[in-house]
Structure 1
Amino acid sequence: MTLRSVLSGKAAKLVVVGPNDTVREAVRTMVSGNVGCVLVMDEGGLRGLFTERDLMRKVVAENRDPASLPVSQVMTTEVMAVGPDVTVGEAMSLCTERRIRHLPIFDGEELVGLVSAGDLTKAVVRDKQHTIDDLISYIYGGETI
């Protein structure tokens, strides 16, 4: 299973803020989008990610004012991106090794999505459940138990 298939099951809308938006604006965007991470983009493309972890470590813990602090000063700039044909297993390994929770997905130069560690886990569970259902059907000859 590839990230392309994971993306096909997600909403297509990317949640984005600009680098000059304040942390407060970014948090409001995260809350309204029900996400733990936003893409920080400008006309030049992806500049970074702003995550709940960034908020806690770089804003709250340092007692900085979210109303006046630009996202660009606290966003994660070292972003690991992958292609849509990367497998879910490879993506999970990458997240574990790099201790990251979000992976932007680029198809060539085009940003096509973002997956979280939760999205990857959900995909694995769904795949395993499908395998279990198939085995039960095989064992019981299509009968339900």
Structure 2
Amino acid sequence: MTLVAKILHSKPDPTVHTIAPTASVFDALKRMAEKGIGALLVTEHDAIVGILTERDYSRKIALMGRTSAATLVRDAMTTPVMFVRSSQTSEQCMQLMTANRVRHLPVVDDGKLVGMVSIGDLVKNIISEQKFIIEQLENYITGAPGP
């Protein structure tokens, strides 16, 4: 299995987008739409205090009759935030995501935020690993030389 560090290294844009807990949910949604992402880490004084996802918006704002412009991020974010270390495997991340029904995991090493992995990042990695294994097996079966 691939380590989280390798997945982070392979991401075209390793930027972790954040927002303050005092920002409006509307501003958070606008940033997510601009960046094409589904979650923002909520930080205060360089500390992770929560995560705001599209799911949080749908369940804690839209379905409760609130407005995104009048609601602060702190009132809609999920806390505490689950995280992984860069030394963990993609399989461990998938197990954590599946068991807890989350789609984004911040990566924290020695108390420092180093990245974020999404379910999409993990699926892309698993597909790549499977494709490589299939190619190796096909080469073995046909007797073709490997890469």
TM class by shorter chain equals over 0.9
Tell me by how many angstroms 1:44 deviates: 4.2
Equivalent residue, structure 1, for 2:101: 99
User: Of 50, 61, 66, which aligns to 1:59?
Assistant: 61
Stretches (4+) displaced over 2 A: 137-143
Q: For 1:17-46, what per-residue CA distance to the aligned partner results, in whole angstroms no more than 9, with x for missing partners?
A: 111110000001100110111111121411
SS in 2 for 1:80: coil
Change beyond 3 A, Cα 1:44–1:112: closer
Identity within the alignment, %:
34
Q: Deviation digits for residues 104-132 of structure 1, max 9, x if unmatched?
A: 10011110111111211111111111111
- d(CA) in 2 for partners of 1:89 and 1:39? 23
Q: Which amino acid aligns with 2:71?
A: L
Task: Structure 1: give runs of 5+ residues left out of the alignment.
Answer: none
Q: Which amino acid aligns with 2:42?
A: V
Q: How far did residue 140 of structure 1 move? A: 2.5
Deviations 1:43-87 (A, max 9, x none): 141111000110000000011111121101110012111100111
Structure 2: 5+ residue stretches without partners: none
Give 2:49's aligned residue: 47
Q: CA deviation at 1:138?
A: 2.5
Whole-Å separation in 2 of the counterparts to 1:28 and 1:44 = 22
Q: Distance in 2 between matches of 1:64 and 1:84?
A: 37
RMSD: 1.2
The alignment's TM-score, normalised by the length of structure 2, stands at: 0.92
Partners of 1:121 and 1:42 lie apart in 2 by 31
Query: Which secondary structure does the structure 1 equivalent of 2:64 belong to?
Result: coil
- TM-score where L is the length of structure 1: 0.93
